[in-house]
Amino acid sequence: MSSELGLETIVQTASIAAGFLGAGQIVSHHSFGLAAWIGVSAFGIVGLATAVVLWPRWQWKFTAAPKKMIASYLDASPAPSIADISRHAAIDLADGYDHNSSRLTKLSWIIAVACIFLVVEIISFLIGLGLGGS
């Protein structure tokens, strides 16, 4: 959830920057120069990165399934020891972590790229305002 909130903040900041700084450049200079187009492109990349991160995925592996654990351990005859149940639960959780780890790393890098392009967007719009739209 914290990554979603972080991504939400990035998108909101990018939108506000594009709205105020991009519009300010058009109003002040009646033109949309190279710096502004770089800012608009960076805003588009932030939007694209957001869509990639938030796109539904079905490949995640979550192994903490209570019904499976009850059927496998508690309803088994003879019932396994608490140590065996704990060991198998830890192995299942580790498998899920290993399976999801590379996907989470990729999504983290995409969020980092979105942050970089947010900075590019803001700097580009500010340069455009300072250069008079050229």
pLDDT for 48 = 95
Distances in Å between the Cα of 8 and the Cα atoms of 17, 21, 86, 124 are 14, 20, 37, 21
Say if CB 108 and CB 22 are below 8 A apart: no
49-98 residue pLDDT tens: 999 998 888 888 777 777 877 777 777 788 788 888 888 888 888 888 88
- Work out whether the CA dihedral 119, 122, 125, 127 comes out positive or negative: negative
pTM of the entire predicted model = 0.70
pLDDT for 133 = 44
28-42 residue pLDDT tens: 666 678 888 899 999
